[in-house]
Chain A
Amino acid sequence: MAQELTFESVDCGDVLPEVKQQNSQELTWKHAVASLDYNPVHTNPEWCKTAQVFGLPVPVMHGNQTMSLMCKVITDWAYPVGGRMKRLEVKLIKPVPVGSICTYGGAVTEKHPIGKGQDFVTIDVWAKNQDGEQVGVGTAQVLLPK
């Protein structure tokens, strides 16, 4: 599919392949190291027992980790053909405790035929937890080649 993906080949309503991840404290620690966001709400289980920033006694995933995995839906789909993200707007709805199993997905909602190198599509993106609850929603604009 990736080899054939072009701006012309995409239709509104196309659904992007989902990404699923079983999170863990180890993965969130690795994300803290990668992003340099060592906020204890993500990294320090002992501190979280009492600080309870989100009303939970456990660490939660970084919001930007959730956003990065929402991006992965798009980068898996568009980057192998030279596509590139142009804009992303995300609302993070619910905290995601470490250890959650989340699914990330997206669907094309708009096509913008602006001109060569500027054509882009709009994609509704979302993240759901293992209970099917939305934890993040947003829209992305993605430049696609002709």
Chain B
Amino acid sequence: MGYLEEMAKYQKTEKQKSFSANFLEPEQVEDYEFWDAIEIGKETEVPIKFEVKAEDMMAYAEGVPDDNPVFYDEEYAKKCGHDGLVAHPLFGTQVAFYVLTKGHGSWIRTPGARNPGQIIEWYDPIRVGDVLTIKQQGYDKWIKRGKYYMRYLNETYDQNGTLKSRGYGTLILPRTKADVLRFLKGEHALQA
């Protein structure tokens, strides 16, 4: 059984079942933005929205795995002082990968990318029924010790325009489209 079939066994939610798990499809790369072309300061409101269902929130916690009942039992969460079912702090990862599939922001999916760290600030809890939108901005890019870094800023808003979270993510990326295409073929294509 291949790795995609292995993972398909664990897909439970509607979003998991409809999302393409093959990040090595060459056609996807045509829609990516590469380090060379990243426009710093450009802000994009990602057109795909994420409607939060309880199954999405529970599925993220299961995948950590984190069995804290505040993530699965709404009544228990309320008894603990929360206003409903709680989203795991890193639930925004699922939201980002669901909506950032093309163009500005597609960097997070790039084969060959490395994640050296992140900053996340939470302003308002994510709740079941929220319809989330991400505003994405290329924040900085630099070269250090032969590696090609970039930092992005993701702001997540709900349907009322309430800022839910702000995340600064840093990535080390393959520099060019040619480098990414080499990675698709299983070749190492980072300069350092």
Contacts and interface: CB of A to CB of B under 8 A. Distances in A.
A88 interface: yes
A6 to B, nearest CB: 11
Contact of B90 (A32, A54, A64, A86): A64
A35 B111 contact: no
A39 to B, nearest CB: 6
A46 B6 CA distance: 14
Contacts of A43: 3, 7, 21
Nearest to B6: A29
Interface in A26-58: 26-27, 29-41, 43-47, 49-54
A29 B65 CA distance: 12
Interface stretch (B30-38, B41-49, B149-157, B182-190): B182-190
A36 B118 contact: no
B115 A92 contact: yes
A38 B68 contact: no
Interface string B10-40: 1100011001011110000000000000000
Sorting the interface of chain B by its residue count into under 10, 10 to 19, 20 to 34 or 35 or more gives: 35 or more
Interface residues of A, number: 53
Given A82-B80, A87-B121, A90-B117, A37 B24 contact: no
B122 A87 contact: yes
Contacts, number: 165
A90 B90 contact: no
B60 A35 contact: yes
A118 interface: no
A118 to B, nearest CB: 12
A63 interface: yes
Contact of A39 (B109, B116, B187): B109
B80 A79 contact: yes
Central interface residue in B3, B97, B122, by most chain A CB within 10 Å: B3
B125 interface: yes
Contacts of B138: none
Central interface residue in B7, B16, B64, B125, by most chain A CB within 10 Å: B64
B64 A68 contact: yes
B119 interface: yes
Contacts of B98: 36
A50 B188 contact: yes
Interface of B: 3, 6-7, 10-11, 15-16, 19, 21-24, 59-60, 62-66, 68, 70, 80-82, 86, 88-90, 93-94, 97-98, 108-122, 125, 183, 186-188, 190
Given A43-B7, A50-B187, A79-B70, 8 more contacts: A33-B7, A34-B64, A67-B118, A72-B68, A79-B86, A82-B81, A85-B122, A138-B117
